[in-house]
Amino acid sequence: MEILMSIVAGLLLASAVYLMLSKSLLRIIIGTGLLSHGAHLLILTMGGLKSGAAPLLGQHAKAYVDPLPQALILTAIVISFGVTAFFLVLAYRAYQELGTDNMDEMRGTKAND
């Protein structure tokens, strides 16, 4: 399972990088979204999967899954959301002010394709 999840995270990261190398600002932000998904899954996978019950003491289980990666991911989700929201509004303002979402045009050169 961990091998499969590593590959999924790798796929997510590869797609994210490919999107981040594109010209459209919106695609770049979609790329960052995928990147954070990949990172979160990777953290969870590295902590070990399915080795016990959910980390709630009420379950009275013999073993629980590792709660620490979950706490870390929760923090990471919230932070990446804050940053993504900020980026999106930045992109929205850039559209308004510059009238373009093409990274090449933002630099001041004509889009060539």
Considering only residues 13-72, where is the footprint of another protein by CB under 8 A? 13-24, 26-27, 29-30, 33-34, 37-38, 40-42, 44-58, 64-68, 70-71
Nearest to 101 by CA among 28, 26, 30: 26
CB 15, min distance to another protein, A: 5
Please answer whether residues 65 and 47 qualify as being in contact, where contact means their C-beta atoms are separated by less than 8 angstroms. Answer: yes
Phi, psi of 34 (to 5 degrees): -60, -40
CB 42, min distance to another protein, A: 6
Count of residues interacting with another protein (CB under 8 A): 85
How far is 74 from 29, CA to CA, in rounded Å? 20
Interaction between residue 85 and another protein (CB under 8 A): yes
